[in-house]
Structure 1
């Protein structure tokens, strides 16, 4: 700031000095003009007076304008200097700003860290949680029968897909759609056997005929989960027993009256986040025998 003021004073002083010099030069010029005109030549002397006045007025105006211009320039310079100082002060007092790119990188890193933490938690839970415990128990139960779990997708059709898979072992090619359709038809034609076991979740009352009809329609037209009632219907349709193996309960067999080898399903309470799930089974692979062969 002091440097600006010093520079300003120097410029003004230089201008004043130049103006003095120009005035002296003009006076010398005027004196020369006067000497060139005879004193008795009134006409030329009158013209000389007018010319001198004009020259002095022009110089006065010129000096005035230059001085005003200098002051204006100096004022603008002061404003610019103050603005720069204020800007620097603001920047110094402002906190460090993080760029948008850095924010995106930080957000991505945070999400990745969160994902890794969830994976780690899931791995710990899978080793110590109910799902792992249930799977271990089922594996032991099935191993005693030379069986192991055959995974079935959890898409709402798992029970029907497990039945479909078991039927393939008996060279029966009924599809999930066919099994659903036959199940609904059987339940509708034997409503008195199934209706007492179905209640309205909101009222607790037994299903009305209309509600039962909709229940059967959903079996055909949606991915509604199947349960014990549907298994009972399927055992009658297929005239085959169906055995359901569970981790914490004895095996449940529906359709015991039919003298055939049962279809075997595995019922899991903790397989997926949504809860209950059915898998199929297959013959246990003897790893040791395979390696020897």
Structure 2
């Protein structure tokens, strides 16, 4: 027979639903404000933070009220329990037994509720931190910069291949087909053939000396055959392999154009310093989608 849910579990379930409903409301609010409307977007973020803070305070008050209520109930139950356990012995003597022990099932429920409460608090703190953190601010700036070009970010997985996956995605939007493995292999091949263009920028981190031929070959092998992260050197090689310039948009610096000497329209990537815990990341872009405006009333 399934155990009935405790008051703590019922409250947590209700609060999780309210948080989910709030997130849906926030998403709806975001959709209703154009990404290139800086003034309204700023007011939107303030409204969102206020709503989240109010809900967090409401949930905290509810938890305190529940804990106080349960404490009062326990006193009453214990008092009644002692009275009920005042028994008359065979010779008219009164014997007292202590309060009933908490069952193992109740202990498990209490532990589960405490862990869930701690988890909910950590999630709430992370959400508030994200609203004011570097990642959020960087994403907001990039959204504004891209909106001016009628573009938006197209998310690319953070797996070490992000540069090549972003380029692959951009090529696909032009009807060109070159997969991740081909891009890596041809980048490494170009770098090997033009070592004099790349060696001056590669130094041994321990000695500060320019890479030896063996070290450079190992570097190129990692470009071709591993999930080694790509940067400026690989971007330069890719522009020559593809014969297409690559524009890189970033939040805190002007956009850079690599391979601008090539006479063709560039592909566009987004460089993010704070996207993930591991650090730098590349995303692709796509045309800015029409923002749905919800009917009022």
Q: CA 1:242 to 1:170, structure 2 compared with 1: closer, same or farther past 3 Å? A: same
2:61 counterpart residue number: none
The answer as to 2:187 corresponding to 1:169 is no
| Cα deviation, residue 219, structure 1 | 1.4
What pairs with 1:127-142 in structure 2 (closer than 5 Å)? 127-142=131-146
1:245 counterpart residue number: 249
The answer as to 2:227 corresponding to 1:223 is yes
Residue of structure 1 aligned with 2:204, choices 197, 200, 205: 200
Q: Render the CA deviation track for 1:85-110: whole Å, top value 9, x for unaligned.
A: xxxxxx98xxx987655554444333
The answer as to 2:177 corresponding to 1:186 is no
Counterparts of 1:145 and 1:263, CA distance in 2? 13
Q: CA 1:289 to 1:107, structure 2 compared with 1: closer, same or farther past 3 Å? A: closer
Counterparts of 2:269 and 2:288, CA distance in 1? 15
Counterparts of 2:294 and 2:196, CA distance in 1? 52
Is the deviation greater in 200-209 or in 161-170?
200-209
**Which is helix-richer, 1 or 2?**
1
2:126 counterpart residue number: 122
Q: Render the CA deviation track for 1:231-251: whole Å, top value 9, x for unaligned.
A: 000000001100000001000
Q: CA 1:124 to 1:207, structure 2 compared with 1: closer, same or farther past 3 Å? A: same
Residue of structure 2 aligned with 1:264, choices 243, 248, 268: 268
Counterparts of 2:117 and 2:206, CA distance in 1? 43
2:164 counterpart residue number: 160
1:275 counterpart residue number: 279
Calculate the TM-score normalised by the size of structure 2: 0.62
**Which structure is higher in RCO with an 8 Å CA cutoff and minimum separation 6?**
2
Q: Render the CA deviation track for 1:197-232: whole Å, top value 9, x for unaligned.
A: 112223333222211111111112211111110000
| Cα deviation, residue 281, structure 1 | 0.6
| Cα deviation, residue 290, structure 1 | 11
* Matched residue SS, 1:279: strand
Counterparts of 1:178 and 1:212, CA distance in 2? 20
Counterparts of 1:222 and 1:98, CA distance in 2? 56
Q: Render the CA deviation track for 1:42-95: whole Å, top value 9, x for unaligned.
A: xxxxxxxxxxxxxxxxxxxxxxxxxxxxxxxxxxxxxxxxxxxxxxxxx98xxx
Counterparts of 1:106 and 1:290, CA distance in 2? 43
* Matched residue SS, 1:264: strand
Counterparts of 1:122 and 1:178, CA distance in 2? 39
Which structure: larger Rg?
A: 1
Counterparts of 1:195 and 1:102, CA distance in 2? 67
1:285 counterpart residue number: 289
1:209 counterpart residue number: 213
- How many residue pairs align between the two structures? 201
Q: CA 1:100 to 1:147, structure 2 compared with 1: closer, same or farther past 3 Å? A: same
Structure 1 alignment gaps of length 5 or more: 1-90
Structure 2 alignment gaps of length 5 or more: 1-96
Is the deviation greater in 110-119 or in 134-143?
110-119
| Cα deviation, residue 185, structure 1 | 0.8
